[in-house]
Amino acid sequence: MGESADGQGGAPARTYDIQAVLNALPHRYPMLLVDRVASLNVGENIHAVKAVTFNEGFFQGHFPGRPIMPGVLIIEALAQAAAILAIETLSLAGSGKLVYFMAIEGAKFRVPVEPGCLLDLHVGFLQQRARVCKFRGKAMLEGKLACEVSFTAMIADAPA
């Protein structure tokens, strides 16, 4: 985990390589949809990146001859970025707590996400409580809006 200035005069923004992402999230291949964190401002927002490759299993059937990343997986990638933000903000690293979806609202898809793209995942807090957080996320492709969504997540213990 390295650090870089966030340009806002506050605490330095954090960056995560893939190893730090693996340490922060319980997800593993094929469900890990965050490759790195470009910047994380604790308590505020995160910019994560997903490198979309043709080798991903969902492209075999969605759609043959015209591969497009399913919208639900774009939202899942945003949710995983939000989970990293929540875990760091609430100091939950190593606690065994998980971040679960509770609601997805206002999802809109604007541009198809295809193999070879770098998907920029921008997520910020709309509301933050001890056990429930609400987020606003945008997935961007080369500056173009691919997806926007608001979602709510709950912090809870992992199932026994």
Check pLDDT > 60 for residue 1. no
| pLDDT confidence band for 122 (50 / 70 / 90) | very high
| 3-state DSSP assignment of residue 150 | strand
Which of 2 and 62 is assigned the larger pLDDT?
62
Note the pLDDT of residue 9. 56
Map tokens 């295809």 to a residue: 114
Note the pLDDT of residue 60. 86
DSSP strand pairing (45-51 vs 97-109): unpaired
Which of 90 and 9 is assigned the larger pLDDT?
90
Side chain identity, residue 102: M
Side chain identity, residue 70: P
Q: What is the CA radius of gyration of the chain?
A: 15
Active site residue 62: yes
> Length of the chain in residues, anyone?
160
Going from N- to C-terminal start, the domains of the chain cover 2-157
Note the pLDDT of residue 130. 84
Check pLDDT > 60 for residue 5. no
| 3-state DSSP assignment of residue 65 | coil
Note the pLDDT of residue 57. 87
Among the listed residues 27, 47, 62, 122, the single catalytic one is: 62
CATH number given to 2-157: 3.10.129.10
Per-residue pLDDT tens for 55-106?
A: 998 888 888 889 999 999 999 999 999 999 999 999 998 888 999 999 999 9
Write down the pTM of the prediction: 0.91
Residue 85: closest CA among 33, 13, 144: 13
Strand order in the sheet with 118-128: 2-4, 13-16, 36-41, 45-51, 118-128, 132-141, 144-157, 97-109
DSSP strand pairing (36-41 vs 13-16): antiparallel
